[in-house]
A and B are shown apart, each in its own frame.
Chain A
Amino acid sequence: MKRVYALEEYCVGCRLCEINCTVAHSESKDIIWAFKVEEPRPLPGILVEEVKPISFGLQCRHCDDAECIKSCITGAMHRDERGAVVCNADKCVGCWTCIMACPYGTIKRNEDKGNVVSKCDLCPDLPQPACVSNCPNEALIYVDRG
């Protein structure tokens, strides 16, 4: 399936991926509104690791053999019809077992939303994830590498 891969050689650590992830998952889809008005503001599903000069975006790998799905005690974490690993917020109780299980450390606690996890959902409503579309240096690519 298609996944987002970060090319650390070209990531300048600008974190626009995080910003645009938040915007894409906001109600208004508007950058000013999302950051100034909306409460709670959605957490970005991507994070940027940076120790200069190395930096790269990292989000859920949507593993074929997803540890988080296997570990989830409630069955909230599951694979949707696209193959993306997503969390059903209605079932999630915030036990953070997925955080314990994810070897990439890409699942976040979303305490604003009542103890449910927040993670990359590969932007189901967009032609490609917002982080990829908005990366100014094309350091994020959305390709099928098996």
Chain B
Amino acid sequence: MLEYVIIGNSAAAVGAIEGIRQRDNTGSITVISEEPYYAYSRPLISYLLAGTADDKKMAYRDVGFYEDNGVSLLLGVKAVSIDTTSKEVILSNGKAVTYDKLLIATGGKPFVPPMKGGDKKGIYTFIKRDDAERLKAVAKPGTKAVVIGGGLIGLKAAEGLVKCGVDVTVVELADRILSTILDEQAAAMVQEVLEGHNINVILNDTVTEVVGDNTVSGVILKNGQSIECDMVITAIGVRPNTDVAANTDISINRGIKVDDHMRANVEDIYAAGDVAEAYDIVYEDQRVTPIWPNAYMQGEVAGRNMAGDDVVFDSGFARNSISFFGLPMITAGIIKPVGNEYEVTSIVQPDKKVYKKAVFKSNRLVGFIRLTDIDRAGILTGLIKEKIDVSPFKDKLLDEDFGFVYMPKSYRKEKLLGVKRK
């Protein structure tokens, strides 16, 4: 009977539990998590802040999930290090847990930039449930907040805060918001919506100093401008939380390097989720892709392989579905290509806030942006994932009625009727 140990308790961990149990119903599974909660939906913390999600919605799995899967939980305990020779995980309480197969699914940790006055009270991050609870306690109507970073986390925090009645300013170093998932055109359209909801967006700038006595009372920007505020939310980015693997033989680049089976370089150790650096099929390179679906899928692959299966993770690439104030957007892969080998088509309908863009590389779709008109966007995601030659229907790809009807009959039959191509 194998002893599986999982460090972390979010999407990748749940994926791993479900993956292990697909093959092995007897092995013991131990989950170690610093956070004292059952797995909850991280992306929902902005809903929690805005008051549109309750405990029931936050729960990622049913109450009986751990019991049903025979998982013993060590919550509120931090795994501090790993002894790879004796196969033990050392806990913050001094105890050790032995493992036969170990999964590191510690996720990411917020990157807080060094800045003057960065130790004052009233500076928050926005990654975990506790962060949202803390912020919710101070986000009263009439207060002012500065969000450093106009990425997914920053803007989601901003949206949540605005819904609490907070006056929000977002400071972004790049020339546009959401620079990882949108191009200039889309970013401008989204920014317009944010500004329409009274979010003040400052681009090409950053906070150099947080001012105030003990508590935050304002920030000073690089351009010298100072902004009064009651709280600062740092949302520059997230880095893989590789602490537990430090000082071990486990190979770390940005994240823990894993092969296509989610195995780290040390035997019986796997990594999945935001902490792992896995193969990205669009960039054709090892990358950390901190998104929820990847985390679950990597976790599942890791879990199945830990339990003796032989499956590969071959669907790693960035993709996001998010909306701000009812403006939905879905983007995936390379959205702002650099180089001659790419081909780009796009459709803009400013009055409807519709923007659609597709990026091709040698007749394969490698990325897209869909703003407002997101229906059936998953077909495009599928085309990226399956590396389909899109040349027969390239010109139809962004059409409103685009679907399988435009695709070659043999492909359609295979997909829709389960008929294998000869």
Contacts and interface: CB of A to CB of B under 8 A. Distances in A.
A132 interface: no
Interface string A68-82: 001101110000000
Contacts of B59: 75, 91
B377 A100 contact: yes
Nearest to A76: B57
B44 interface: yes
A97 B293 contact: yes
A96 B330 contact: yes
A93 to B, nearest CB: 6
Contact of B381 (A6, A49, A91, A101): A101
B37 interface: no
A73 B41 contact: yes
A96 B374 CA distance: 9
A146 interface: yes
B416 A102 contact: no
Contact of A103 (B61, B321, B378): B378
A90 interface: yes
A20 interface: no
Contact of A70 (B297, B403, B417): B297
Interface in A53-83: 54-56, 58, 61, 67, 70-71, 73-75
Contact of A73 (B44, B377, B403): B44
B321 A49 contact: no
A36 interface: no
B44 A97 contact: no
A93 B47 contact: yes
Contacts of B319: 100-101
Given A90-B56, A96-B323, A55 B405 contact: yes
B297 A56 contact: no
B44 A93 contact: yes
A105 B320 contact: no
B332 A95 contact: no
A99 B406 CA distance: 20
Contact of A5 (B323, B403, B418): B418
B53 A99 contact: no
Interface in B289-310: 292-293, 296-297, 300
A105 B418 CA distance: 17
Interface residues of A, number: 37
A121 B55 CA distance: 26
B385 interface: yes
Interface string A25-57: 000000000000000000000000111001110
Nearest to B293: A71
A139 B55 CA distance: 45
Given A73-B41, A73-B43, A97 B321 contact: yes
Contacts of B330: 96, 99-100
B282 to A, nearest CB: 15
A95 B252 CA distance: 33
Contacts, number: 121
Nearest to A98: B378
B378 A102 contact: yes
Contacts of B379: 102-105
Contacts of B53: 93
B328 interface: yes
Given A70-B15, A95-B43, A58 B61 contact: no
A95 B418 contact: no
A76 to B, nearest CB: 9
B401 interface: yes
Contacts of A73: 41-44, 292
Given A5-B418, A105-B379, A99 B374 contact: yes
Contacts of A6: 416-417
Interface string B116-144: 00000000000000000000000000000
B36 interface: no
Contacts of B378: 67, 98-105, 107
A95 B385 CA distance: 21
Interface in A123-146: 145-146
Given A5-B417, A100-B320, A109 B375 contact: yes
B382 interface: yes
Contact of B292 (A71, A94, A96, A145): A71
Contacts of B381: 100-101, 103
Contacts of B418: 5, 145-146
A56 B405 CA distance: 8
Interface of A: 5-6, 8, 49-51, 54-56, 58, 61, 67, 70-71, 73-75, 90-91, 93-105, 107-109, 145-146
30 contacts: A5-B416, A5-B418, A6-B417, A49-B404, A49-B405, A51-B405, A55-B405, A56-B416, A67-B378, A70-B15, A73-B42, A74-B60, A75-B59, A91-B57, A93-B44, A93-B47, A95-B322, A95-B323, A97-B292, A99-B330, A99-B374, A99-B375, A99-B377, A100-B320, A100-B378, A103-B386, A104-B415, A105-B378, A105-B403, A146-B418
